[in-house]
């Protein structure tokens, strides 16, 4: 039975969720009760139909119309019981975008599939459109056909994680070249599993390959897969990006939660390498720990404000703050290790970890909008400062210089 | 401590803000700074009438019975308005130390004189090292029969010239004790020290066999609590001051035009503003959380008081310094308030210990956790 958000008390909700899980979920083996392995699609279907995967969404679309606070209550229970598929209304970027901004037709066609295991990836950045994302040059050309016709897509995308696994790509493509850059972009849900989509992994400075380049040649997307208006893709993107930044900023508190001891890892490292009594190192460890602690306190305040007022400007500070935290922690770790920082590999695990972390820190400070873009956003949206003048803002896109 | 409702807390903060706007605006503030004793007696009386001086004093002695959270909240307002007064030494440090005493008649007498604003206390807590720790005490208390006398020098004593009585930290054969000393005797020499911040009143105080009354029941634990409370109060003041000068600066970035555009549209400036916002909000989070931990008697209180002590001091220093830079020439003038915030921020870097000391203490607390 689906309970009414206002009517149900927190304790009733807790009891209901716990009882449902007792019946359906095997905590220990992390699978559906009565099965011998986790059938993800089947399990997610159950969780989605119960309304526990996207509790803040409306009852028409797999949700329960619950408040953020009630959703967090459910999330806490699911998390504590190792349940797969919790809080997709916060973490499933593709589904959130379609739910918030897609047409009714698109929602009925895609939402359930997206919530039950079909993954999505981001097709935003291009080699010549990074921070200046409105400068995308991937071309989408309409051709006639049944059901509104379709678009033929040509271009190159970059920094796409999860591309091989994804069924859907959230694609930003240019549909009008004769208007200024922001006004000629459309946002597509693009089928990834088709001819003309070539996925090539990127070798990153960390030694990992999480990201890919995507070469798109004469691939297709149905016209009905446009999210929002034709040529209204920029607005859709802003909403999608806001969700992405929210998730990245929250990473801070989530990661901290995993830490077993309350003693900072840098203290352990300094002890191990005989630097714990070095007063200069101690100052730096304290400062690095403070940066992380202060960000956690800010994020806690943000969450309290969201519960109380529905929103918080503090939330958007998290990602920028995280850049300083990660770069500084890696720097202090290097200073603790001293000349041994030059080593790497299995034999020098601490050095290898530090070297990895110092490269990985750029993931936060460049990815998902660089620190410089974050500072623009904070100063414009929170502080109300004017935008920097952009020379190409009102020019037809085909006349804009690129390179 | 009494229960104070959120509504009462908000109302109290609002009326404090109104009082400061009415009686301690820019011109009044500058007159107060230039006055011999560095505070406005009428404002002090008004603060007493509003119950602010007895903020943390129990209601049985005429106070409000508020906790660290109420104190921190109101100090944000004091910081925003650059309040000049012996508030921290009298209504925080002295109030906290005397409240810890086991001598009921002394408490009744002294605490009520703090609440009604009739007495100002100065605290001789540290020597010329400015450490604000037990190692930083170089006054010696000795007992001859029933008579205690003090010998030695204290420095960084706030508002000593105007104080009616001094509370003096001294080492004795019985450990560290706190003594009540009449400041208007020959045996106590108060030397005024010139300061960079015109709002600041500091003195060196020399005790030459000065008669002193030990305050019964006040030990190192009580001293620690009083200093922690002063750190929380100052952290709140710093968070409030940083926020205010930041708001003034952002407003200037919006309204000042150069090269035909608002200067806040230049990324070279707006990016600095974004970084400053992180500092401003972090200071507020740190000060409020420390206050909450103290108010609830959390075992982590010391950790978070130390964190707030350096995080807020450093944030205020950086934000107020950038505020001058972002304003440009106008803030290089004495008339502009930016330098007053900058000076106040520099003051706070050293009172009740340095940021380096607080960082060390923070790490020590974390290691012990």
B51-68 pLDDT tens trace: 999 999 999 999 999 999
For residues B248 and A256, the model is more confident at B248
Structure tokens at A37: 């392995």
β-pair partners for A123: A171
pLDDT at B193 exceeding the cut of 90: yes
**Which pLDDT score, from 0 to 100, does residue A390 have?**
85
pLDDT tens figures, A359-370? 999 999 998 789
CB contact under 8 A, A379 and B363: no
Which residue, A229, A62, A215, A222, is CA-closest to A138?
A215
| Per-residue confidence band for A5, with pLDDT thresholds at 50, 70 and 90 | low
pLDDT tens figures, A262-272? 678 999 999 99
pLDDT at B225 exceeding the cut of 80: yes
pLDDT tens figures, A65-93? 999 889 999 999 999 999 999 999 988 99
Q: How would you classify the pairing of strands A150-161 and A211-222?
A: antiparallel
**Which pLDDT score, from 0 to 100, does residue A258 have?**
45
Shortest alpha-carbon distance between residue B213 and chain A (Å)? 40
Distance (Å, rounded) from C-alpha B144 to C-alpha B164? 25
CB contact under 8 A, B285 and A297: yes
ipTM, 2 decimals?
A: 0.94
Q: What is the mean pLDDT of chain A?
A: 92
Percent of chain B with pLDDT over 70: 99
**Which pLDDT score, from 0 to 100, does residue A251 have?**
53
Calculate mean pLDDT across residues B110-138.
97
Calculate mean pLDDT across residues A16-28.
95
Considering the segment(s) B221-368 as one domain, its CATH architecture is Up-down Bundle (1.20)
CB contact under 8 A, B274 and A374: yes
Domain boundaries, chain B: 6-115, 121-219, 221-368
Calculate mean pLDDT across residues A106-134.
95
Please provide the CATH number assigned to the domain covering B121-219. Answer: 2.40.110.10
pLDDT tens figures, A136-190? 999 999 999 999 999 999 999 999 999 999 999 999 999 999 999 999 999 999 9
Count Cα neighbours of B271 within 13 Å in the Cβ-side half-sphere: 10
The mean-pLDDT minimum among A255-264, A281-290, B171-180 falls in: A255-264
Please provide the CATH number assigned to the domain covering B6-115. Answer: 1.10.540.10
Q: Contacts of residue A315 in chain B, CB cutoff 8 Å?
A: none
**Which pLDDT score, from 0 to 100, does residue A250 have?**
59
DSSP A221: E
Q: Contacts of residue A383 in chain B, CB cutoff 8 Å?
A: 250, 253, 264, 270, 273-274, 277
**Which pLDDT score, from 0 to 100, does residue A241 have?**
83
Distance (Å, rounded) from C-alpha A393 to C-alpha A387? 11
Long-range contacts of A263-271 (CB under 8 A, 24+ apart): A263/B366, A263/B367, A263/B369, A264/A288, A264/A289, A264/A292, A264/B366, A266/A329, A266/A332, A266/A333, A266/A336, A267/B363, A267/B366, A267/B367, A269/A333, A269/A336, A269/A337, A269/A350, A270/A336
Question: Which residues from A are below 8 Å from B when comparing CB atoms?
Answer: 262-264, 267, 279, 282-283, 285-287, 289-290, 293-295, 297-298, 300-301, 314, 317, 320-321, 372, 374-376, 378-380, 382-389
pLDDT at B328 exceeding the cut of 70: yes
**Which pLDDT score, from 0 to 100, does residue A253 have?**
47
pLDDT tens figures, B267-295? 999 999 999 999 999 999 999 999 999 99
The mean-pLDDT minimum among A17-31, A232-246, B86-100 falls in: A232-246
CB contact under 8 A, A374 and B359: no
| Per-residue confidence band for A242, with pLDDT thresholds at 50, 70 and 90 | confident
């Amino acid at each position: 039975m689906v309970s009414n958000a206002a009517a149900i008390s927190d304790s009733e909700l807790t009891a209901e969720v716990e009882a449902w899980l007792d019946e359906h979920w095997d905590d220990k083996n992390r699978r559906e009760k009565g099965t011998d392995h986790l059938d993800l699609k089947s399990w997610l279907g159950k969780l989605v139909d119960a309304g526990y995967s996207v509790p803040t969404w409306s009852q028409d679309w797999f949700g329960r119309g619950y408040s953020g606070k009630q959703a967090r209550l459910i999330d806490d229970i699911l998390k504590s019981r190792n349940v797969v598929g919790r809080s997709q209304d916060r973490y499933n970027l593709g589904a959130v975008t379609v739910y918030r901004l897609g047409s009714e037709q698109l929602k009925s066609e895609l939402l359930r599939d997206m919530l039950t295991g079909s993954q999505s990836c981001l097709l935003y950045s291009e080699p010549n459109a990074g921070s200046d994302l409105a400068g995308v040059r991937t071309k989408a050309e309409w051709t006639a056909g049944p059901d509104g016709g379709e678009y033929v897509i040509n271009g190159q995308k970059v920094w796409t994680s999860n591309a091989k696994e994804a069924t859907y790509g959230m694609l930003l493509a240019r549909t009008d070249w004769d208007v200024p850059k922001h006004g000629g972009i459309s946002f597509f849900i693009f089928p990834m599993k088709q001819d003309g989509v070539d996925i090539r992994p990127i070798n990153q400075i960390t030694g990992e390959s999480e990201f890919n380049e995507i070469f798109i040649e004469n691939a297709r997307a149905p016209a009905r897969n446009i999210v929002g208006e034709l040529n209204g893709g920029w607005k859709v993107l802003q909403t999608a990006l806001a969700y992405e930044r929210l998730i990245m900023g929250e990473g801070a508190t989530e990661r901290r939660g995993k830490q077993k001891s309350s003693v900072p890892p840098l203290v352990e490292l300094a002890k191990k390498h005989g630097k714990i009594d070095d007063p200069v190192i101690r100052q730096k460890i304290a400062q690095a720990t403070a940066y992380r602690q202060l960000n956690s306190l800010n994020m806690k305040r943000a969450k309290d404000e969201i519960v109380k007022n529905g929103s918080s400007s503090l939330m958007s500070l998290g990602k920028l703050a995280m850049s300083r935290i990660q770069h500084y922690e890696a720097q202090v770790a290097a200073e603790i290790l001293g000349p041994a920082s030059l080593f790497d590999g299995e034999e020098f695990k601490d050095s290898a970890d530090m070297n990895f972390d110092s490269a990985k820190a750029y993931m936060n400070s460049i990815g998902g909008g660089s620190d410089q873009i974050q500072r623009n956003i904070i100063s414009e949206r929170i502080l109300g400062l004017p935008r920097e003048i952009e020379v190409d803002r009102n020019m037809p896109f085909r006349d804009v210089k690129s390179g | 401590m009494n229960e104070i409702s959120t509504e009462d807390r908000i109302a109290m903060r609002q009326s404090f803000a109104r009082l400061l706007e009415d009686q301690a605006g820019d011109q009044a503030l500058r007159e107060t700074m230039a006055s011999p004793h560095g505070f406005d007696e009428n404002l002090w009386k008004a603060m007493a009438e509003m119950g602010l001086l007895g903020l943390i004093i129990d209601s049985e002695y005429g106070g409000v019975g508020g906790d660290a959270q109420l104190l921190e909240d109101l100090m944000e307002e004091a910081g925003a308005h650059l309040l000049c007064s012996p508030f921290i030494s009298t209504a925080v440090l002295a109030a906290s130390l005397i409240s810890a005493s086991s001598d009921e008649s002394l408490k009744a007498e002294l605490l009520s004189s703090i609440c009604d604003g009739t007495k100002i206390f100065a605290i001789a807590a540290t020597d010329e090292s400015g450490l604000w720790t037990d190692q930083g005490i170089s006054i010696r208390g000795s007992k001859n029969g029933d008579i205690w006398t003090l010998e030695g020098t204290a420095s960084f004593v706030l508002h000593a010239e105007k104080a009616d009585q001094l509370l003096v930290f001294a080492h004795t054969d019985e450990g560290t004790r706190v003594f009540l000393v009449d400041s208007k005797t020959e045996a106590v020499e108060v030397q005024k020290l010139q300061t960079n911040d015109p709002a600041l009143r500091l003195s060196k105080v020399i005790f030459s066999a000065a008669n002193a009354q030990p305050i019964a029941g006040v030990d190192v634990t009580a001293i620690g609590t009083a200093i922690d409370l002063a750190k929380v109060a100052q952290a709140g003041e710093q968070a409030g001051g940083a926020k205010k000068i930041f708001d003034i600066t952002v407003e200037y970035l919006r309204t000042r035009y150069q090269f035909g555009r608002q200067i806040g549209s230049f990324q070279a400036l707006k990016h600095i503003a974004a970084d400053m916002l992180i500092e401003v909000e972090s200071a507020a989070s740190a000060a409020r959380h420390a206050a909450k931990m103290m108010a609830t008697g959390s075992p982590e209180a010391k950790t978070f008081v130390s964190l707030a002590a350096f995080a807020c001091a450093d944030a205020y220093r950086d934000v107020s310094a950038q505020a001058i830079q972002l304003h440009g020439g106008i803030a290089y003038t004495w008339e502009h308030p930016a330098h007053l915030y900058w000076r106040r921020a520099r003051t706070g870097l050293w009172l009740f210990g340095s940021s380096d000391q607080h960082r060390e203490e923070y790490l020590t607390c974390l290691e012990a956790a």
